[in-house]
Amino acid sequence: MTKHIRLTMAQALTRWLAAQQVEVDGALLNYFAGVWAIFGHGNVAGMGEALAGVGAELPTYRGHNEQGMAHAAIAFAKASRRQRAMICTSSIGPGATNMVTAAALAHVNRLPVLFLPGDVYASRRPDPVLQQIEDFADATVSANDCFRPVSRYFDRIVRPEQILDALPRAMGILTDPAQCGPVTLGLCQDVQAEAYDYPESFFAPRVWRRRRPRPDTGELAALVTAVRGAKAPLIVAGGGVLYSRAEAALADLAARTGVPVAETQAGKGALVWDHPQALGSIGVTGTSAANAAAEHADLIVGVGTRLQDFTTGSRTLFAGKRLIQINIGAGDAVKQGAEAVVGDARATLEELAAALGDWRVDDAWSGANRDRVAAWNTAWAAATAPGTALPSDAQVIGAVWRQASDDATVVCAAGGLPGELHKLWRSHGPGGYHVEYGFSCMGYEVAGGLGVKMAAPARDVYVMVGDGSYLMLNSELATAVMLDRKITVILLDNRGYGCINRLQQGTGGRPFNNLLADSAHAVLPDIDFAAHARSLGAEAEKVAGIAELEAALGRARQSDKCHVIVIDTDPAITTGAGGHWWDVAVPEVSTRAEVRAARSAYETRIHGERK
Domain ranges of the chain: 4-208, 217-374, 385-568
Q: Is the model more confident about 1 or about 61?
A: 61
What's the CATH fold of domain 217-374?
Rossmann fold (3.40.50)
Q: Is the model more confident about 1 or about 177?
A: 177
Identical fold between 4-208 and 385-568: yes
Sign, CA dihedral 17-22-25-26, equals positive
The pLDDT, as a whole number, for residue 457 is: 98
pLDDT at 151 over 50: yes
Distances in whole angstroms, Cα of residue 189 to Cα of each of 69, 117, 126? 21, 9, 11
pLDDT at 29 over 50: yes
Across 554-577, average pLDDT: 95
Torsion of CA 326, 412, 470, 559, to 10 degrees: 140
Distances in whole angstroms, Cα of residue 415 to Cα of each of 147, 423, 488? 26, 14, 19
The pLDDT, as a whole number, for residue 609 is: 60
Distances in whole angstroms, Cα of residue 163 to Cα of each of 160, 168, 186? 6, 8, 11
pLDDT > 90: what percent of the chain?
A: 95
Q: What share of residues in the chain are helix, strand, coil (percent, to 5)?
A: 45, 20, 40
DSSP secondary structure letters along 456-508:
-TTS-EEEEEEHHHHHHS-THHHHHHHHT---EEEEEE-SB-HHHHHHHHHTT
Question: What is the pTM (predicted TM-score) of this model?
Answer: 0.97
Distances in whole angstroms, Cα of residue 107 to Cα of each of 136, 150, 180, 226? 30, 6, 8, 33
**Confidence band, pLDDT 50/70/90 cuts, at residue 242:** very high
DSSP secondary structure letters along 283-311:
STT--HHHHHHHHH-SEEEEES----HHH
Cα 546 from Cα 392, distance rounded (Å):
10
pLDDT at 463 over 90: yes
Across 25-32, average pLDDT: 95
**Confidence band, pLDDT 50/70/90 cuts, at residue 525:** confident
What is the total residue count of the chain? Answer: 611
Cα 428 from Cα 272, distance rounded (Å):
5
The pLDDT, as a whole number, for residue 608 is: 64
Distances in whole angstroms, Cα of residue 33 to Cα of each of 30, 160, 544? 6, 24, 40
Give the gyration radius of the chain's Cα atoms: 25
Beta carbons of 389 and 570 less than 8 angstroms apart:
yes
Across 181-206, average pLDDT: 98
Q: Name the CATH code of domain 385-568 (choices 3.50.50.60, 3.30.565.10, 3.40.50.970, 2.60.40.420).
A: 3.40.50.970
| 34-38, 123-127, 346-350, 366-370, range with the lowest pLDDT | 123-127
4-208 in CATH: which number? Answer: 3.40.50.970
Distances in whole angstroms, Cα of residue 532 to Cα of each of 67, 89, 528, 552, 567? 20, 28, 6, 18, 14
Beta carbons of 334 and 340 less than 8 angstroms apart:
yes
| pLDDT tens profile 161-191 | 999 999 999 999 999 999 999 999 999 999 9
**Mean pLDDT across the chain:** 96
pLDDT at 453 over 90: yes
Q: Which helix (H) or strand (E) covers residue 568, if one does?
A: strand 563-568
Cα 5 from Cα 15, distance rounded (Å):
12
- Please report which residue ranges of 197-329 form alpha helices under DSSP H: 217-229, 239-243, 247-257, 288-296, 309-312
Across 385-394, average pLDDT: 93
The pLDDT, as a whole number, for residue 611 is: 42
- Contacts with 103 (C-beta within 8 Å, 6 or more apart), sequence order: 70, 113, 115, 147, 150, 151, 182, 184
pLDDT at 13 over 80: yes
The pLDDT, as a whole number, for residue 610 is: 44
Does 128 sit behind a cis peptide bond, omega within 30 degrees of 0 on the bond before it?
yes
Sign, CA dihedral 370-371-376-382, equals positive
What are the residues facing 567 on neighbouring strands? 492, 543
| 46-50, 111-115, 244-248, 511-515, range with the lowest pLDDT | 511-515
Cα 38 from Cα 92, distance rounded (Å):
11
